Amino acid sequence: MPSEILVDLTTASASGNAPGSWGTVSGLSASDITVQGTDSVLLIMMSIQLNAETDHTAEFRLLVNGVATDSPNNTQFIDEALDGGTGTTLVWAIDGLSGSSNTFVVQWQTVVGTSSASTNHDRMLQVVEISGGDAEIIVNMTGTSTEADPPSWGDLFTSGSVGVDGTGSILIMIGSVPYNMEADERSEFRFAIDSTEEGAVTTVYTDNANEGNGWSGVHCLNGLSAGTHTFHLEWQAVSGAGQTDTGGKTRTFQVVEIKANATLQVDAESIGAGTSSGSFATVTGLTGSYIPQSSNSINLMFSNMQITQASDNNVNVSLAVDSTNTGGLLTNFTDSTVLTQRMLLAYAVTGYSTNKTFSTAWQTNNVQATLDESRARTMFVIELVQESYVLSGVTKDNDGDPLGEVDCYLCKDVSSGIPSFLNYTLSQAGTGNYHFSGIANVPDYFVIAHQSGIPSVFDITDHILSGIPG
């Protein structure tokens, strides 16, 4: 079965305000979504930008089929109009779903003041299904207790010994941590495998007693040897005495192993100088190019970065394909010389079959910013390669004999209840054979056949056809 982008919502319309209790973010919900089977792994990815307002705070979570159980929580605040609003990204992996009536919703609620969503920055919700057998969630940990950051690097999560298939696997490490609202506290986070640091080091902070941020990050790698390994999410204090959220909010640590039909095409890690400019440009070191294996490939993009501690710096950050921004557009700012904020971006794109350049782009929004040269920044692109599925048949007359040169229209049932036309072919003369390729292996297809004449001939198959490998 191929991987699919099940939900693909990007919008900058309908601002809306965070309600006093959990409610849906405008434009970020999807229903009647078909999942191939319980062994599929779903990556849920969302991002949203808040408007620039003084001292407002909102928190976010993800609902699946109306339930928030184990969903990561993340809090985001905006400091003042000068700095601009800040944005948040959540990534979460789940499995065990099936059927055609699944719902995915981004929720938010106010914590301090009344935050509003920006209409000038795209926000997005995507659900990517990695088909059964291709991927497995090998680490899936949650916590709600209050923990204090250690003075030097220590574990917030550690997995114990976990089996990995081999060097051909791609591993996606995902972390989300709600952080307590206290005055001028700051902690650093990083991933590690077998106690060896991996990827970017990014920071979360609180500005004062009623303003808190959450931390989130993603790291991707391949080449890890077969056998057992221990996966870590580590943190340490930078200033003050930071804590995970005391309100019982859920923090998560996950590792997804993609075992087949995927390639880590871009694996960029950089430490060095860089300065934002007045127009969008590539963040130094965060770029890579390749030719997707087919236009059906799904290209999963992730980026982590940190800007330098400085007073009131403010930049817009986005993922880009061939210098065109794509996915959520977020703002990153530093509030003072001791406080700075991490940035995570995630997005999935498809439809490319020629050489493409994938990058992280940034632009000065208010005050020019520089990259933190002391911390690694990263960008990854994973290509999910689709298996080839086909649907074939024979057009026949009323006596059951092959009838050639019949118009054949491939259609698919969709969640809206209105069938979707996908492709057309003419059955072969004499044999009546017809053939469609490049389809998903789900039982939602049907074929309409028609041949003009006196009388005209027409028929339709049942709405349960599915493709086979071909």
Those residues whose C-beta lies under 8 Å from the C-beta of residue 253, and which sit 6 or more positions away, are 139, 141, 142, 156, 157, 159, 173, 174, 175, 231, 233
Burial of 430 (0-12, 13-18, 19+ CB in 10 A): exposed
Those residues whose C-beta lies under 8 Å from the C-beta of residue 264, and which sit 6 or more positions away, are 170, 220, 221, 222, 380, 381, 382
Evaluate whether 159 touches 256 at the Cβ level (below 8 Å): no
Going from the C-alpha of 100 to that of each of 67, 292, 352, 464, the distances in angstroms are 17, 30, 28, 13
HEC states along 385-413?
Answer: CCCCEEEEEECECCCCCECCCCEEEEEEC
Report CA dihedral (10, 15, 17, 23) to the nearest 10 degrees.
-30
Those residues whose C-beta lies under 8 Å from the C-beta of residue 220, and which sit 6 or more positions away, are 170, 171, 172, 173, 264, 267, 302, 380, 382
Report CA dihedral (244, 73, 181, 47) to the nearest 10 degrees.
130
Q: What is the reported pLDDT for 80?
A: 61
Evaluate whether 173 touches 189 at the Cβ level (below 8 Å): no
Rounded to 5°, angle at Cα 389 from 387 and 392: 165
- 241 phi and psi, to 5 degrees? -130, 85
Rounded Cα gap, residues 94 and 92, in angstroms: 7
Q: What is the pTM of this model?
A: 0.83
Reading the block at residue 33, the tokens are: 């979504």
Rounded Cα gap, residues 388 and 287, in angstroms: 29
Q: What is the reported pLDDT for 192?
A: 98
The per-residue pLDDT string of the chain (470 residues; one tens digit each, 9 = 90 and over) reads 578 999 999 987 666 788 999 999 999 999 999 998 888 999 999 999 888 777 778 899 999 999 998 999 988 877 664 455 678 899 999 999 989 899 999 999 988 878 888 888 889 999 999 987 789 999 999 999 999 999 999 999 999 999 998 888 999 999 999 988 777 788 999 999 999 999 999 988 877 656 678 899 999 999 999 999 999 999 999 888 888 887 889 999 999 999 988 999 999 999 988 999 999 999 999 999 999 988 889 999 999 998 887 667 788 999 999 999 999 999 887 766 556 667 899 999 999 989 999 999 999 887 788 888 888 999 999 999 876 678 999 999 989 999 999 999 998 876 556 777 878 999 999 999 999 876 666 677 899 999 999 889 999 999 989 888 76
Bridge partner residues of 158 (DSSP) = 232
Q: What is the reported pLDDT for 457?
A: 93
Evaluate whether 29 touches 36 at the Cβ level (below 8 Å): no
* Residue among 268, 341, 329, 319 at smallest CA distance from 83: 341
Going from the C-alpha of 114 to that of each of 17, 89, 135, 294, the distances in angstroms are 6, 19, 40, 45
**Structural domains for the chain:** 4-384 (no CATH), 390-469 (2.60.40)
Evaluate whether 396 touches 432 at the Cβ level (below 8 Å): yes
Evaluate whether 463 touches 444 at the Cβ level (below 8 Å): yes
Q: Work out the number of other CB atoms within 10 angstroms of the CB of residue 323.
A: 11
